[in-house]
Structure 1
Amino acid sequence: MKGRNETESARADRNFVELLQGSRVAVTGVQVLFAFLLTVPFSPGFERLGEGDRRLFYVALVSAALASICYIAPATQHRVLFRQGLKETLVRRSNRYGIAAALALSVSMTAATMLVVDFLFHSAIAMVTAAIVALVAAWAWFGQPALDRNRPPEDGGGTDSPS
């Protein structure tokens, strides 16, 4: 038993539930973005996009698909591996999928933002806006937590962070 006076199995169960809860918010956003991107090529203005913007759209679409796959993977793997005694493996793997999904989502959001702003203004505003989106996502999702990993735990625990 560690930290919260719970068994390893109970801790793995709790960690997995917490990971899934965190993914629920993100997966909805990813699926809305992905669904929207799937409709864009069928809209009348899409044919006006140049080759560069079509490539940018491709990056946004594929990275949204990858983010969706990564966010859905833990729940699907849990179903496939149900009662196999691999919960700790699922926790570690789910954490990695969540990080990969957030990275793919940040790429998709950045590309989609750049595409829309470029469509609206045809200028450097698109690049600046996309850079701001990318930097804010990088800081909020990766930079700040990376700095916190080097701090001592506030609750004296430290056993709940999946690898």
Structure 2
Amino acid sequence: MTLHPLPTPPDTADTHDEWNLRARGETPTQRLDRNYGELLQEVRVAQTGVQFLLAFLLALAFTPRFADITEFQRGTYVASLIMGAAATALLIAPAPFHRLVFQRRLKRKLVRATGWFTLAGLGFLMLALGSSMLLILDVVLGTRSAVWISGGILAWFLTWWFAVPLWNRHRFGHRPSLPAQPDSR
């Protein structure tokens, strides 16, 4: 029985490309196309949520009871609206970025930028959801309860959207896959 040393974890695009070619039979261009497609699928999921949230927030200002909200509620509303708009801009940003760099051989830059747009957009979406919950809970339960519950909701989002994936990335992301068993993604 011959033991083969495990490969070192890839640290650069070139070593990722080498690994993908060996393990998946995928060229660097095919890898970028696949990565971009996967990112767009992620963005589509988030865009639906942010569009519903922003529509709710935009309509809220035109309800009869809106004139009676407190200064705290008005500030929370404005913060929610701005963060929802920021999330929308970032989650839509891959489309105009792609259009403006189309056929310029900038796919690697497009994939990297789309990844950052998506992460930042999800961060703003999380904050917009948290502040929207704060606004609604303040109206329904009062400020003290609203702050505690909204803080819990933000912690919940932080846990599942960022902490758990980052923990898995840290814990398992640097372990090399066996050459015969590439990542199943």
Name the TM-score, length of structure 1 as normaliser: 0.91
Partner residue, 1:65? 85
Residue 46 of structure 1 deviates from its aligned partner by: 0.5
- Aligned residue pairs, count: 159
Give the TM-score normalised by structure 2.
Answer: 0.81
- In structure 2, which of residues 80, 103, 119 is the aligned counterpart of residue 83 of structure 1? 103
Comparing 73-82 with 101-110, greater Cα deviation is found at 73-82
Name the CA distance, whole Å, in 2 between partners of 1:136 and 1:74. 27
Matches within 5 A, 1:1-163: 1-3=18-20, 4-153=24-173, 156=177
Rounded to whole Å, the distance in 1 between the matches of 2:40 and 2:176 is: 22
- Per-residue CA deviation, residues 59-94 of structure 1 (Å, 9 max, x unaligned), is 100000000110000122111211111111111111
Which structure has the larger Rg? Answer: 2
Where do 5+ consecutive residues of structure 1 fail to align?
Answer: none
SS in structure 2 of the partner of residue 42 of structure 1: coil
CA distance in 1, matches of 2:141, 2:156: 22
Partner AA of 2:19 in structure 1:
K
- Runs of 4 or more, structure 1, over 4 Å off, are none
Once the two structures are aligned, what percentage of the paired residues are identical? 33
